[in-house]
Structure 1
Amino acid sequence: MRDYRHVLLATDFSPHSEAAAQRALDLTRRYGAHLSLIHVIEELTAQLRGAESSAFLTNRAQEALTRFAERLGLQEARMLVEWGSPRTEILRVAQEQQMDLIVLGSHGQRGHALLLGSTANAVLHSAPCDVLAVRAVP
């Protein structure tokens, strides 16, 4: 296994994301790596919310990301909230920030019946680095 210097943890705050966060934390400690967290607000989600402004949604997502990090002991991590397609934004940030590893839940808030969630699957097949899709243990 190669050494990891910078790990990107993608989260949608689902139980699979929490399991992925634990694994990312273990790996960053093992390798002395830096950890960045990313949460992507999907444009469609924002459109469905209607009256709420993009600034309001961004602030709510940032607060949720901060609570997620605090609950899991990840307060030192760099936190990013992006807008767009989760697949596109995770891959963009991974490439721009020269990540060595992307860690994400095998499924998100939707799609539990699939073998691998659509975002995890898309990231796995297009990432510029290693990808670890973590399954939540029931």
Structure 2
Amino acid sequence: MANYTKILMAVDLTDDSAEVAERARAIATNNSAELHIIHVIEPLSFAYGGDIPMDFSGIQDEIHQQASQQLEKFATEQGVAADRRHVVLGRPEVEIHALAEEIGADLIVVGSHGRYGLALLMGSTANGVLHGATCDVLAVRVGVSR
């Protein structure tokens, strides 16, 4: 098993994030690794294809502010240092890969809902992260009873 030194935990700030954090913290503790956390906000224009003649900047700023507050609270509960907390705007898999490269992460930990059928065809963040990562990826199964 690899000895990880920098771990990037990607969370969506739902209740499932606690399961992802538990696994990431355990691996970080066992390896004396530096733990970073990222939450990616998708631009509203992505959801509407950029074809809506509206200015979403005020709403987007509010979403960013709320996400930053939620991540600060969550990261504090998880013991992640303030300088290792990242809230970014963009496509989740792209931004997760970019930050992993920037910090030199050797493991990305992300939640996976284990979707199938149409939900799988629509794509998932975990799948996108797995297929473009240059380091190991751990997809933690979340939202299922064990």
TM-score past 0.5 threshold: yes
1:74 matched residue in structure 2? 79
1:67 deviation in Å? 1.5
2:16 matched residue in structure 1? 16
Q: For the structure 1 residues 82 and 68, does the alpha-carbon distance in structure 2 shift closer, same or farther, using more than 3 Å as the test?
A: same
Q: Helix, strand or coil for the counterpart of 2:16? A: helix
Give the TM-score, by structure 2 length. Answer: 0.79
Does the aligned pair in 1 maintain the 2:40–2:88 contact within 8 Å?
Answer: yes
Give RMSD over aligned pairs: 2.5
2:109 matched residue in structure 1? 103
1:25 matched residue in structure 2? 25
Q: Helix, strand or coil for the counterpart of 2:2? A: coil
Structure ID, larger Rg = 2
Q: For the structure 1 residues 17 and 114, does the alpha-carbon distance in structure 2 shift closer, same or farther, using more than 3 Å as the test?
A: farther
Amino acid of the residue matched to residue 66 of structure 1?
A: E
* Matching of residues 42-121 of structure 1 within 5 Å: 42-44=42-44, 50=56, 52-71=58-77, 73-76=78-81, 78-107=84-113, 113-114=115-116, 118-121=124-127
1:22-69 CA distance string (max 9 Å, x none): 000001110110011000010137877946344332221110101212
Amino acid of the residue matched to residue 105 of structure 1?
A: G
Distance 1:14 1:65 in 2: 11
Does the aligned pair in 2 maintain the 1:40–1:86 contact within 8 Å?
Answer: yes
Q: Helix, strand or coil for the counterpart of 2:72? A: helix
Give the TM-score, by structure 1 length. Answer: 0.83
Q: For the structure 1 residues 91 and 51, does the alpha-carbon distance in structure 2 shift closer, same or farther, using more than 3 Å as the test?
A: closer
- How many corresponding residue pairs? 133
Amino acid of the residue matched to residue 114 of structure 1?
A: Y
User: Could you tell me the percent identity over the aligned residues?
Assistant: 41
